[in-house]
Amino acid sequence: MMFKSSFFVFLELLKRDLRGFWREYPNKLFDTGFMFFTNMIVFAYLMPKQGLDASYGVFLMFGAIASFGLIEIVGRVGVLLADIDGERAISQTMILPVSAKMVFCYIAIYWALTSMLLSVLLFPFGKLLLWDRFDLGQISFIRLIPIYLSANLFYGVFALWLTSILKGMEGLNTLWMRIINPIWMFGAYFYSWQASFKLSPIIAYASLINPMVYIMEGIRSAGLGQKGFLPYGACLAILWGFIILFGILATKRLKKRLDCV
């Protein structure tokens, strides 16, 4: 009964927010597409003229698809933080017949969905940009769909956890510099884990604490084939470990921060 009530509210809130997101979707899609476009032009067309391998554009495209949604989600961290510090519209949600855990779950899933809705169209866009350099037939969709869904869900719970640890809006800058930037740069976005292993096994093993590594390696092994990347199954399993871990931490901290029942 309690779960049914909670789930019903969860769906209503999700429906409302997705309707709201739909209005801003074209604008946000343009922004994401534009950033993707600039990345592809530089790494697939300009950098090869400077000696970079011609296949690097395709390699980077999968990383971009896997991670650009995070930028959208981190923006939403700022919105939620501003609300918590300000008028607290979230408090209206917290008195609905729904458990606090379900509210946090709805926020994480809503964020994950927005991230997915923005990045999913980068697949056909990437094909258009890279055309004959990229064969859609090489993608294993059975592998790609689970890792893509899991990656975006991870961003949702991770962003929720970030919201719970930041003291306020002033922490947003620090968030970009100290958290998002290093996990992205050392998260196998520009290189494969194997490349870091060649440089230094210590660095490579140390980077395994970074969840982005599993997202990048997992999505590339689904899109470009297993060879040269960490095992797909391990990436998916470990990523789910991170989803559960950050989900639990975010719920505990936010519940305390919002002082809710």
Partner 1 sequence: MDSVFLRIRQVSKTYFSHGKPFKEALKKVSFDIQTGEVLGLLGVNGAGKTTLSSILASLHPPTSGDLLWGGQSIYKNLFQFRKKIGYCPQNPNVEKHFSLEENLITIGKCYGLSSERVKERVNILLQQFQLQPYAKANVSQLSGGYRQRFLIARALVHEPAFVILDEPTVGLDPHIRREMWEVIKGLHLQNVTVLLTTHYLDEAESLSDRVCLIHDGIIRTIDTPDNLKRYHQKNNLEEVFLKFVDDPTSAIFNSVSVEHDV
- Closer CB to partner 1, residue 8 or residue 205? 8
CB of 119 to partner 1, least distance (A): 22
Give backbone dihedrals phi and psi of 156, rounded to 5 degrees, phi first: -60, -50
d(CA 122, CA 65): 6
Identify whether the C-beta of residue 21 lies closer than 8 Å to the C-beta of residue 76.
Answer: no
- Closer CB to partner 1, residue 13 or residue 243? 13
CB of 256 to partner 1, least distance (A): 10
CB of 162 to partner 1, least distance (A): 21
- Closer CB to partner 1, residue 53 or residue 87? 87
Element holding 7 (H helix, E strand): helix 2-40
d(CA 168, CA 149): 29
The residues in 89-108 that bind partner 1, with binding defined as CB under 8 A, are 89-92, 94-98
5 is a contact residue toward partner 1 (CB under 8 A): yes
Q: CB under 8 Å to 184, separation ≥6 — which residues?
A: 67, 70, 212
9 is a contact residue toward partner 1 (CB under 8 A): yes
d(CA 87, CA 108): 21
Residue 223: both structure tokens together: 């899109």
Judged by CB under 8 A, which stretch of 43-51, 81-89, 105-113, 166-174 contacts partner 1?
A: 81-89
d(CA 199, CA 193): 10
Task: Indicate which single residue of 8, 22, 141, 176 sits in contact with partner 1 (rule: CB under 8 A).
Answer: 8
Q: Which residues bind partner 1 (CB under 8 A)?
A: 1-2, 5-6, 8-9, 12-13, 15-16, 19-20, 87-92, 94-98, 259-261
